[in-house]
Amino acid sequence: MPAYLLQVQTPQDTHRLTGPFEATALRRAATPLTVVVDAAARTRIEEGRRRFRALRQDDDSRIYGSTTGFGALAGYAGRRDEADQCDNTLAHLGAGQGPDLPAGIVRAALLLRTWSLAQGLSGVSVRVVEDLAAMFATAFTPAVPRYGSVGASGDLIPLAYATQALRGRGHAWLDGRRMPAAEALSTAGLKPLELDGRDALALVNGTSVTTAALALARDTVRDAHRALTALTALLTDLIGCDTAFLDPGLLTAYNHPGVCHAGTRLRHLLTGCTPSGDRPLQEPYSIRCTPQLLGAAEDALRYVDSVITADIGGVSDNPLFLPDDVGPGRTVHGGNFFGQPAAFAADLLAVVTAQLGNLAERQLDLLVDPTRNGGLPPMLTPTPGIQHGLQGVQLATTAFVAELRRAATPAGMQSLPTNLHNQDVVPFGTQAALRSYDMAELLGLLCGSLALGLRQASHAGARRPTAPRCADLLDTLAAAIEPVDPDRPLDSDVRAAARIVLTWR
């Protein structure tokens, strides 16, 4: 079972994460793993808790969510009892609707929340972080409804559902079963979280659901980007294209780093490729312009990477309890819970996903068209009319692309005022990230559809690939997927091909 140490380094005023936690750990959070609160993290959490306690005891202190109400009602006093203030924090946020979020997103979000609290600036107790860490060794997953967050004051409603489940309220998933959260905790050998108002607010007042969904979506899109690069190379080799469009001097002159990176990768995959000599002088754009398209996607993905890295390394909470040179520290109220960076990144990721999906569909369209595929039969069927080959798969990819285009509408600029105009601008980062997560799954299916088409092309008369890496990919597909001869339902074959190409290196 992998272990992740919650280690936090605070050089001067810059808060950075150390230890083996990386964005890739979020994908692992879907299944049990070991999370260790080490001595360095424990010390920082305790120091942050002491700062909060000292500042809270000041008779003149006004600390949002600890001495006050919430949101637009922050001008009113909160409940005096700190345990009661926990209920005051969470109860009114139980307004979510819709299906439960995937377990992978929920657990990744809680891993991010644990990591953020372990930086020691949120004033929570060590016990809370340790109990959260203990959850990851089990399969316990809070049941969190999809709809309800505007991503402005953090992911308040979804994180409130997660927190309530950890307290034994609401519902949770365990070993594939949805059940009352108290039962799931008991079965998993966990004790309910005990929280005061500060603990509760710190658990919900962050962008962890948004960041988790964005990071997981990015992972899938990156896998698909690598897959499409390999599938483009295989298509180029199968139909005998000239590879001059990948000339390093040509691409260097274009002066975009992602394009040069894509060209290098394609040239590596096509090492040893021999053109057939039968192709037109200039290939369609879905082949000739792939280094430019895939390269632009690479540059955009690098920006998304940078936002995710910053989100993981930051503290999305309010207020923060910062150390001071003298005195007990200072309470700083602000807007670190405002998920606009992730919203913009998720919208960009959606655009990249839609264009990559369009490329996969256009390449499949080229492959099944006898006027452009080098003389292969229509729909790659050995007996046109008697059988229909990839016709159904191509119809489905058209529907997938239409769905991607519809979903790519930006969410991060569709602000609506709410909360008595306290939240008068909102980023809708949660919607943007969850939408990108759904789109990434469709992109994977488009990659699987193209891969199935390439496998079928080899059966329908395409030449043996001349580049060793391309031949290896084709052989991997052919070993797992039978030719479409005769016709059969191909939904499971598309999914199998997707699994192969998304993990092929």
> Which is it for the CA torsion 134, 136, 138, 141, positive or negative?
positive
Helix ranges restricted to H, 57-97: 82-90
Q: How many CA atoms lie within 13 A of 221 on its CB side?
A: 34
Beta-carbon neighbour count of residue 452 at 10 Å? 26
Residue 64 CA to residue 488 CA, distance in Å, equals 62
- From the list 4, 64, 147, 254, the catalytic residue is 64
CA distances from 221 to 41, 225, 232, 297, 397 (A): 33, 6, 16, 10, 17
Active site residue 64: yes
* HEC string for 258-295: HHHHHHHHHHHHCCCCCCCCCCCCCCCHHHHCHHHHHH
Beta-strand pair 3-5/34-36: parallel
Residue 191 is given by DSSP the state: P
Distance CA(208)–CA(225), nearest Å, equals 25
Structure tokens at 214: 């964005």
With beta carbons less than 8 A apart as the criterion, state whether 127 and 194 touch. Answer: yes
Place of tokens 């080899």: 458
Phi, psi values for residue 358, rounded to 5°: -60, -40
Q: How far apart are CA 268 and CA 272, in angstroms?
A: 9
List beta partners, residue 129. Answer: none
Q: What is the set of active-site residues?
A: 64
